[in-house]
Chains A and B, each alone.
Chain A
């Protein structure tokens, strides 16, 4: 065995402890232990560390886990009905009832644009950073959600983050009964996540969106906001001033696909 191939002595000792060596390797380690007190001492140290970790008491899974799983699965069943996000279903397996969803999404878009026209204008109005061409996120907001099913809701959000491959785009802060998910990703990805969250929105007792409107130096607050409405707000791009489009014109749908958006989801409440 060349020096390069020779396994690290620590690895050998650990493998020895764990019964992972071949008979020949085992004999070799036993010979080493007999002739080298340092190696024998190190083996005892590693054995103790292993024994210590292995002796940690085992906890029983909380009884509510079973009910939580059942509730989540039930909800998944119910949420298999058509929802508002076209992209989600084009991307996800099946693409069922696509035509119906397109019609629904178009109707929802018209309605939402009408209802939230004022809010949208306030949010998308150009700000100083944007005019100066500074790198900035296309949308930045915070939605505060209150629920009395905190564990269930957080489990759902975590799964939605996983399912949409957004783990690397999210940082999570936990403080008591409050979780803050800070998400910075593309509009499309955030839309997919919001499409998932729409399925659990009814579990929130209140939902309030806060968006900084820099041009007017104030904060826009939308009470009772839905996931669909947030999705609409982030989908409408800021106007392109260089093309002469007026800020109050209806957005043309011209998107900047690589533009990042930021949303902090604050979930608070009780179990």
Chain B
């Protein structure tokens, strides 16, 4: 259950309100604008939770179809953004729960030069005692592959909370609304998730 103050603190975005009203009237241009406005963010969150491009595309499509079908039921008690993400995350977590993936590759099988370098770079970043240096995080495909694999080793609910926070940049109150959990649960899950993620990465980089 979400606290009353949290629910009331979120006001509907005026642009969204106009678009939603037009969508309810069946304005296809408004529907298209709403999709274009949110599709990349929703796709990214789904992609990071399920870690598969095709699944993420399907689930994003599914999310928007559900949003449009249910838009008449949207009452504006939370923001549209929160409501849309709740649909997306629920669909994705349910999908992950019943999905059994095959053919995932281990890091050991990918010990080419690039991967070795990326592992070394990541290890240095994680073990360096100095303050975090953002320059270390230059776009490195192999390094992000390692990180993606580490994320997939987290429990689904832990992965979801860390992605909503660190990739989508939601505050705790909004994450609580999206996941329909208490604020304290968000704090404990995020704390557990980051701690586990670090342990997993350290183990992978051994």
Is the C-beta of A202 less than 8 angstroms from some C-beta in chain B?
no
Is the C-beta of B172 less than 8 angstroms from some C-beta in chain A?
yes
Is the C-beta of A73 less than 8 angstroms from some C-beta in chain B?
yes
- Cα(A7)–Cα(B134), bound, Å: 30
- Cα(A175)–Cα(B55), bound, Å: 12
Is the C-beta of B149 less than 8 angstroms from some C-beta in chain A?
no
Query: Count of A-B contacts with CB under 8 A?
Result: 161
- The answer to whether A61 and B147 touch across the interface, beta carbons within 8 angstroms, is no
Residues A172 and B172 in contact in the complex (CB < 8 Å), given A51-B132, A69-B35, A158-B59: no
Among the 9-residue stretches A13-21, A112-120, A185-193, the one with 4 or more Cβ atoms under 8 Å from chain B is: A13-21
Is the C-beta of A140 less than 8 angstroms from some C-beta in chain B?
no
Residue numbers in B under 8 Å from A151 (CB-CB): 54, 57-58, 61
Residue numbers in B under 8 Å from A69 (CB-CB): 35, 61, 64-65, 68
- The answer to whether B167 and A15 touch across the interface, beta carbons within 8 angstroms, is no
- The answer to whether B43 and A57 touch across the interface, beta carbons within 8 angstroms, is no
In the assembled complex, the CB of A47 is this many whole angstroms from the nearest CB of chain B, namely: 5
Is the C-beta of A154 less than 8 angstroms from some C-beta in chain B?
yes
Is the C-beta of B105 less than 8 angstroms from some C-beta in chain A?
no
- The answer to whether B165 and A159 touch across the interface, beta carbons within 8 angstroms, is no
- Cα(A41)–Cα(B201), bound, Å: 17
- The answer to whether A44 and B131 touch across the interface, beta carbons within 8 angstroms, is yes
With CB as the reference atom, state the residue of chain B lying closest to A20: B172
In the assembled complex, the CB of A252 is this many whole angstroms from the nearest CB of chain B, namely: 35
With CB as the reference atom, state the residue of chain B lying closest to A8: B191
Residue numbers in A under 8 Å from B190 (CB-CB): 11, 14, 18
With CB as the reference atom, state the residue of chain A lying closest to B172: A20
- The answer to whether A11 and B132 touch across the interface, beta carbons within 8 angstroms, is no
In the assembled complex, the CB of A244 is this many whole angstroms from the nearest CB of chain B, namely: 42
Is the C-beta of A58 less than 8 angstroms from some C-beta in chain B?
yes
In the assembled complex, the CB of A241 is this many whole angstroms from the nearest CB of chain B, namely: 36
In the assembled complex, the CB of B65 is this many whole angstroms from the nearest CB of chain A, namely: 5
A interface residues, tally (CB under 8 Å): 53
Is the C-beta of A217 less than 8 angstroms from some C-beta in chain B?
no
In the assembled complex, the CB of B32 is this many whole angstroms from the nearest CB of chain A, namely: 7
- The answer to whether A167 and B57 touch across the interface, beta carbons within 8 angstroms, is no
Which applies to chain A's interface (DSSP): helix, strand, loop or mixed? Answer: helix
With CB as the reference atom, state the residue of chain A lying closest to B95: A158
Among the 9-residue stretches B12-20, B74-82, B96-104, the one with 4 or more Cβ atoms under 8 Å from chain A is: B96-104
Residue numbers in A under 8 Å from B97 (CB-CB): 167-168
Residue numbers in A under 8 Å from B111 (CB-CB): none
- The answer to whether A66 and B32 touch across the interface, beta carbons within 8 angstroms, is yes
How extensive is the interface on chain B, given as a class? 35 or more
- The answer to whether A154 and B58 touch across the interface, beta carbons within 8 angstroms, is yes
Residues A158 and B58 in contact in the complex (CB < 8 Å), given A10-B195, A66-B32: yes
- B31-63 Cβ-contact flags toward A at 8 Å (1 or 0): 010011001101110011000111101111110
Please tell me which one of the listed residues A53, A64, A66 contacts residue B162 in the complex, with CB atoms under 8 A apart: A53
Contact residues, A103-153 vs B (CB, 8 A)? 151-152
- Cα(A47)–Cα(B194), bound, Å: 9
- Cα(A155)–Cα(B95), bound, Å: 11
With CB as the reference atom, state the residue of chain B lying closest to A173: B100
7 tightest Cβ-Cβ pairs between the two chains A and B = A61-B43, A53-B166, A155-B58, A61-B39, A68-B61, A55-B137, A167-B94
14 new A-B contacts at CB < 8 Å, known A7-B187, A168-B97, A174-B52 = A18-B190, A44-B129, A44-B131, A44-B132, A45-B126, A48-B132, A51-B132, A53-B151, A64-B57, A155-B61, A155-B65, A158-B59, A161-B98, A173-B100
Q: List 19 A-B contacts (CB under 8 A).
A: A11-B188, A14-B191, A18-B171, A20-B187, A48-B125, A48-B132, A51-B137, A53-B147, A53-B151, A53-B166, A53-B167, A56-B147, A58-B167, A62-B53, A65-B35, A65-B64, A72-B61, A171-B98, A174-B100
Measured CB to CB, the residues of B under 8 A from A are 32, 35-36, 39-40, 42-44, 47-48, 52-55, 57-62, 64-66, 68-69, 91, 94-95, 97-103, 122, 125-126, 129, 131-132, 134, 137, 139, 144, 147-148, 151, 162-163, 165-167, 169, 171-172, 187-188, 190-191, 194-195, 197-198, 201
